[in-house]
Structure 1
Amino acid sequence: MNLLQSKIFSVVVLGLASLFVGILPNCFGRQGRKQWPLLLSSLLCFGGGVLLSTALLHILPELRESIPEEYKQYVEIVFCLGFFILYMVDEIVHFFYGDTHEANIFHNHGHNNNERRRSSSAKYAYGTMESRHLLHRESSSQASYNPSFYRARSDSVLFCDQPPSQLCHVGHQEPCSAAPTANIGLLAALSVHALLEGLVVGLEGRSDKVLLLLGAISSHKLVVSFCLGMELTSNPLYKFRRHFVYILIFSLGSSGGILVGMFVTNIPTEIKNLLIPILQGLAGGTLLYVTVSEVLPRERARWHQQHEKRGAGLIQFFSVALGFGLMTVLTKYLDYDG
């Protein structure tokens, strides 16, 4: 297999494999939200651990190695800048559309409660609050797992006049799921990272190294693709068409990077040595924000509402640790550094 054939093979394999693995969660996600909500949450926490490891143990070390020596003192600043950029975008969206989001959330909760009253087949629906059931328990003087959450509305959770029972020190409230910044930011960060990884393959001049890079990139790109698919599946408002488009954009990241590297071989050294690491660092900071501010708080909040499932938090923790550990092993032992 010559150099051109190996690069074309890499384009096809990375694109199709990522697309298939990313769409796979959508095939069982809708049914899983009703029948296996804790399993779905555990998979999402697993994805959170994967993203956390990708940001801190994969992208950040790459940034340190690739950035020019005179700029190494700014590595952490560039990384954190990606975090704050998405944080700022998120707050801007909430500033202009926060009231609409809150109204939609309460409208959806009311609609979900009406649907629950008409259907007795499903006890729990993943991503919704069992507020009517737990409020009924609370009104009958039975201690709920975290009653401050159910008494609270909007920001009043910070000013509850009665402390929560059990050991929870705060009211576990989900991040605003109507804001589009989390999934869009996650998609943008992963796509930029995939594009830059593909660019390295496209610029490679030996066919054997191209295949080695293909194996190294595939080892973690397919895991990340599955986690992205799970994250998109967790939002019941996302239909298959949008899910497919998002996964397609991500899948084309590495393939597009390879094609760009094949046809644009005369990239100025200054741009290659400085711009690419900066984009990597911004993508890593964005992944960190989505993981610690959106994915993990959301999953913890959904199950801290269920006092019947008090052990769910431990299952989520071990899922995060498993995803983090798996991605760490793939990064440390299967990445190609030649």
Structure 2
Amino acid sequence: MEYLLQVKIGALVGLLLLTLFFGFIPARVKWFRQTNGTETHRIVQSLISCFAGGVFLAACLLDIIPDYLSDINTELDARKVETSFPLPEFIMALGFFIVLILEKIVVNCREVGGAQEERAPLIPENRNGHSHGRGPHPDLEGSGHHVHMDFQAHSSFRSFMLFLSLSLHSVFEGLAIGLQNTNSKVLEICIAILVHKSIIVFSLSLKLVQSSVPPLWVAAYIGVFAMMSPIGIAIGISVMEAQLGAGALIQVVLEGLAAGTFIYITFLEILPHELNSPGKQLLKVLFILLGFAIMTALTFLG
């Protein structure tokens, strides 16, 4: 058991360091933070963002939702709860509507207060002070405000909710490691989470940078996100050491709310933002499929 504890602590440290490394690549590399680069630079940035969109889509459909449905069905069976009402799906819907309602409250408060961020025009004035025409303009993709036809796409609030739902899911991933009782299973799950989380945190960091979140806040987000899986591992270790089994129902409810949150972010923020922006539509779809395919392959390989 002592060696098993050492393996879990090693997994904890490895997850923390690797997540920080990949998370700070978009945040620290100037190339990712440029908003007025060349046309080629803007296209490449957009394609990378589409790849991240495919990653989030796969994480939503192939990882977060299946994990939650499996966990809650197991918990309901253990408690001998039988109902014809789709309770697991209802909990996800609650998560979806919580984010929707909170976002609209925030937007309404900003409008009442006179803030203009969420009401930016579709085609803003450029840096020289004159307005563009009505037709598609290549500078839309890389303007200083990162404005697209979906002009509310990259709001800071949605970025925060994306961070929150991913962080909650990361805690449960770490919990799965901490609750294992064999060395091989710990290593197997840890390697899978390391690969999976490296891609996720890179994509999350990219979205935060594109949302014009201040650098210090990006660093704070990435730092907190990196600690989520280690916190989950620590909780799992504590439960194993103390021989406790309580709190499973609360865990699955939180998983369901996080899944509903992620559905909202994926289908109302990430994909519309990329697919509504002009130019290279087929290439964007290809990169979304590429991100989805890579995450699918990782899921298939276990």
Does the pair score TM above 0.5? Answer: yes
* Counterpart in the other structure of 2:69: 64
Within 2, Cα distance between the matches of 1:18 and 1:287? 20
The residue type paired with residue 233 of structure 1 is V
Within 2, Cα distance between the matches of 1:71 and 1:62? 20
* Counterpart in the other structure of 1:300: 275
Q: Is 1:327 matched up with 2:302?
A: no
Is the Cα contact below 8 Å between 1:3 and 1:205 reproduced in 2? yes
Gaps spanning 5+ residues in structure 2: where? 141-147
One of 71, 74, 81 as aligned partner of 2:94: 81
Q: CA offset at residue 145 of structure 1?
A: 4.5
- TM-score, length-scaled by structure 2: 0.82
The residue type paired with residue 330 of structure 1 is L
CA pair 181-101 structure 1, distance change in 2 beyond 3 A: farther
* Counterpart in the other structure of 1:49: 54
The residue type paired with residue 200 of structure 1 is A
Q: Is 1:222 matched up with 2:198?
A: yes
Q: CA offset at residue 173 of structure 1?
A: 3.4
Within 1, Cα distance between the matches of 2:68 and 2:201? 22
CA pair 52-100 structure 1, distance change in 2 beyond 3 A: farther
Q: Secondary structure of the equivalent of 2:133?
A: helix
- TM-score, length-scaled by structure 1: 0.74
Q: Is 1:174 matched up with 2:158?
A: no
CA pair 327-7 structure 1, distance change in 2 beyond 3 A: same
Within 2, Cα distance between the matches of 1:243 and 1:329? 29
* Counterpart in the other structure of 2:226: 251
Is the Cα contact below 8 Å between 2:118 and 2:152 reproduced in 1? no
* Counterpart in the other structure of 2:176: 200
Within 2, Cα distance between the matches of 1:18 and 1:33? 28
Q: How many residues align?
A: 279
Gaps spanning 5+ residues in structure 1: where? 118-130, 136-143, 150-170
Is the Cα contact below 8 Å between 2:122 and 2:149 reproduced in 1? no
Within 1, Cα distance between the matches of 2:254 and 2:12? 22
Within 1, Cα distance between the matches of 2:61 and 2:91? 13
The residue type paired with residue 174 of structure 1 is F
In the TM superposition, what are the counterparts of 1:273-288 in structure 2 within 5 Å? 274-288=249-263
The residue type paired with residue 275 of structure 1 is I
Is the Cα contact below 8 Å between 2:153 and 2:270 reproduced in 1? no
CA pair 87-59 structure 1, distance change in 2 beyond 3 A: same
Q: Is 1:38 matched up with 2:13?
A: no
Q: CA offset at residue 31 of structure 1?
A: 3.1
Q: Is 1:115 matched up with 2:91?
A: no
Q: Deviations over 1:82-136 (max 9, x none)?
A: 21111111111112113557524678999x746345xxxxxxxxxxxxx82325x
Q: CA offset at residue 271 of structure 1?
A: 2.1
In the TM superposition, what are the counterparts of 1:99-114 in structure 2 within 5 Å? 99-100=112-113, 103-104=116-117, 113=125
Q: Percent identity?
A: 30
Is the Cα contact below 8 Å between 1:33 and 1:40 reproduced in 2? no
Within 1, Cα distance between the matches of 2:284 and 2:113? 31
Q: CA offset at residue 9 of structure 1?
A: 0.8
Is the Cα contact below 8 Å between 2:68 and 2:259 reproduced in 1? no
Within 1, Cα distance between the matches of 2:96 and 2:231? 25
Q: CA offset at residue 180 of structure 1?
A: 3.0
The residue type paired with residue 18 of structure 1 is T
Q: Secondary structure of the equivalent of 1:34?
A: coil
Is the Cα contact below 8 Å between 1:56 and 1:284 reproduced in 2? no
Q: CA offset at residue 21 of structure 1?
A: 0.3
Q: Secondary structure of the equivalent of 2:152?
A: coil
CA pair 33-9 structure 1, distance change in 2 beyond 3 A: farther
Within 2, Cα distance between the matches of 1:99 and 1:40? 34
* Counterpart in the other structure of 1:261: 236
Within 2, Cα distance between the matches of 1:97 and 1:48? 27
Q: Secondary structure of the equivalent of 1:172?
A: coil
